[in-house]
Amino acid sequence: MKTQRPNGILYILISGFMIAFVGALLFLWIFFSSMRAMHQTTRDLYEHPYAVTNAALQLKTSLYQIRSSLLFATLAQSKGQALQDTIQFIRDQESLLEKNIRIIASSYSGDKQQISKLQAELQALYHIRAAILEKLQTGHYVEADRIIEINGSPKFVEIAKLTESVLAFAQQRANAYVSESQKQLEGHTRKGLMYATLLLTLFLIVSVVLVWRMYRLHAEVDKFAFTDFLTGIANRRRFMFELESEIRRSQRYGSPFSFAMVDIDHFKKINDRYGHLVGDLVLQNFCLKCVSALRTSDMIGRLGGEEFGILMPMTDLHEAARVIERLRSEIDHSVVTENGQQIHYTASFGLVASSHHHLDLSLTQMMKSADAALYNAKQQGRNRVYIANGSL
């Protein structure tokens, strides 16, 4: 039993460490899973809905830039280097258009026919743009303006509507991605809180069990340190401590107390005749009789072998003699039965009482007086109470 209890505490400590270790791993897993999920959601947002949104916005900007450049060149009747610069600018914007339309085509998750139609409309716009630039280069500004008015503007409007439709769908998908990301984050948070609560509960349970086991262990250690293993009463160490404390209390406050030393008569003969097991039963029976007969304020302790001490705080000699005599009588009428045999035993008592006239009373003096009274009780025939000189 002495090795099992420390091992039990060791197992609890190991269990607590394992729970803490698993909890830390679980927390890290939840944390990195959440970060990975958020990273994946963010990447998906920028690779798909946000990419389409940005490309559609840039596409609209390029369209307006191209349209504005054509209108300005027509109205200003640009020619020479100014016209060449306008043509180069329009080509640059068309390159951006192609780049953005490829991004939209690769990342768009809506109706693909819209993208096909947008690409077709852009090709038609390129032809209109080519016709307008041809008229500008030949100086036919009125005809260029007519082409812009009749063919270019409606085409720009149609392409703008298609771009707005693509942009609206991409923004809707982006909002859906954000909402889904928030749900995932909330889900991870709930799981994290649930796991944290579970682990905290387990940790608290293990801590409570560990503290309780340690408390029980210390309680048992204290019990074995101050309790006689065989009889369950106070051992010599505990009894002498209480007796010395009572002596100091009596010296300080002048309160009376009584002390008796007890010896079971002819105990060695009982051991020799019936065996040590029966002797142990007699000791246990004697202690039970003392505990039941004495008052709750009294204390009995085993001083060694078959010798015991009885401490009666706040008790004068007259009251102590009455209590001890009643105890002696009960023991005299007690019988221990073992294997059909009835073993009768008696006890001798040496009683001593303190007095406020002896403030210099010491533990050694008290023990000597009680021991001398016990010796006289034995000398006078045993099974009796002898009072040491009436009082100390």
The residues assigned a catalytic role are: 306
Counting Cα atoms < 13 Å in the Cβ hemisphere of 160 gives 14
Counting Cα atoms < 13 Å in the Cβ hemisphere of 247 gives 19
Closest by CA position to 354, among listed 388, 384, 322: 388
How far is it, in rounded angstroms, from Cα 383 to Cα 332? 8
Please give the sequence-ordered ranges of beta strands (E in DSSP) within 290-387, or none if there are none.
Answer: 299-304, 307-313, 335-338, 341-344, 347-353, 385-387
Q: Is there a contact between 144 and 79 (Cβ–Cβ < 8 Å)?
A: no
Within 76-138, residue ranges assigned H as helices are: 81-107, 112-137
How far is it, in rounded angstroms, from Cα 252 to Cα 121? 113
Which residues have a Cβ under 8 Å from the Cβ of 108 and sit 6 or more positions away?
52, 114, 115, 166, 169, 170
DSSP 140: -
Buried b (16+ CB within 10 A) or exposed e, 136-156: beeeebebbbebbeebbeebb
SS3 259: strand
